[in-house]
């Protein structure tokens, strides 16, 4: 698959050949769903906690006698049927995280990249950095390719200056080519990939396949 490489000024510079094994695959909706669901589950804190009737503070005494009052039979005041009583089958702290096969996760990432390329929502631009670390300098570049859209920039490395410049932009997120997240990629309306990152993606995933 051929893609045009743009300069940071938005001008066409040259063409680059993207690996079809990463950017030209048939889209597998199922593995994309499993990967996103897995990421969201692994982010859950799982600290919600309620008290059942054995944990609620209160007396164990029967509030009135069993018979002769005309009321329904009643146990202690900690009954789940009473206000201030315990909770029936309420949540307890738990670990929601689980793992999925590595091959499935890799296929999900490649399917999302292929989907973005097919929908023409993937743009390759020349390598750059923000030497000043200022937000306005990054905004000027991003707005040439994705104005006011949820955007993901795939970096060739962990560039602290670019991340510093973009941390105040609410609709912008950064991913390194070797640490992609399915949720961010899929829901990004525009994916901007640095030229070196696009080349590294092919080498990274091909190397991963060889180790299986």
pLDDT of residue 209: 63
Residue 10 lies in a domain: yes
Q: pTM of the full predicted structure?
A: 0.82
Same domain, yes or no: 69 and 15: no
**Dist. CA 56–CA 113, nearest whole Å:** 52
**Dist. CA 146–CA 189, nearest whole Å:** 9
pLDDT of residue 204: 85
pLDDT of residue 210: 58
Under-70 pLDDT residues of the chain = 208-212
Residue 39 lies in a domain: no
Q: Which of 94, 118, 141, 123 is nearest to 28 (CA)?
A: 118
Instruction: Give residues with Cβ within 8 angstroms of 171, minimum separation 6.
Output: 148, 149, 150, 151
Same domain, yes or no: 131 and 187: yes
Same domain, yes or no: 86 and 119: no
- Number of domain units in the chain: 2
pLDDT of residue 90: 94
Three-class DSSP category at 193: strand
pLDDT of residue 6: 87
The last residue of one of the domains, among 71, 95, 119, is 95
Same domain, yes or no: 63 and 80: yes
pLDDT of residue 7: 87
Same domain, yes or no: 206 and 116: yes
- Where in the sequence is the domain holding 64, given as residue range(s)? 45-95
pLDDT of residue 93: 95
pLDDT of residue 212: 53
């Amino acid at each position: 698959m051929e893609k045009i490489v743009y300069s940071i000024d938005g001008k066409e510079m040259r063409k680059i050949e993207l690996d079809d094994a990463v950017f030209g695959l048939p889209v597998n909706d199922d593995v994309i769903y499993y990967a996103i669901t897995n990421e969201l589950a692994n982010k859950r804190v799982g600290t919600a906690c309620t008290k059942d009737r054995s944990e609620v503070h209160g007396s164990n005494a029967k509030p009135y006698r069993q018979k002769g009052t005309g009321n329904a039979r009643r146990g202690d005041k900690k009954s789940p049927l009473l206000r201030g009583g315990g909770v029936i089958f309420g949540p307890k702290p738990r670990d929601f995280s689980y793992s999925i096969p590595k091959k499935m996760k890799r296929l999900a990432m490649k399917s999302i990249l292929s989907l973005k390329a097919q929908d023409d929502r993937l743009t390759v631009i020349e390598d750059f950095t923000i030497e000043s670390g200022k937000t306005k300098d990054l905004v000027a570049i991003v707005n040439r390719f994705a104005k006011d859209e949820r955007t993901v920039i795939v970096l060739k490395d962990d560039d602290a200056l670019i991340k510093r410049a973009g941390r105040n932009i609410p609709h912008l997120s950064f991913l390194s080519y070797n640490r992609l997240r399915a949720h961010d990629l899929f829901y990004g309306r525009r994916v901007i990939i640095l030229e070196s990152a696009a080349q590294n993606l092919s080498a990274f995933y091909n190397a991963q396949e060889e180790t299986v």
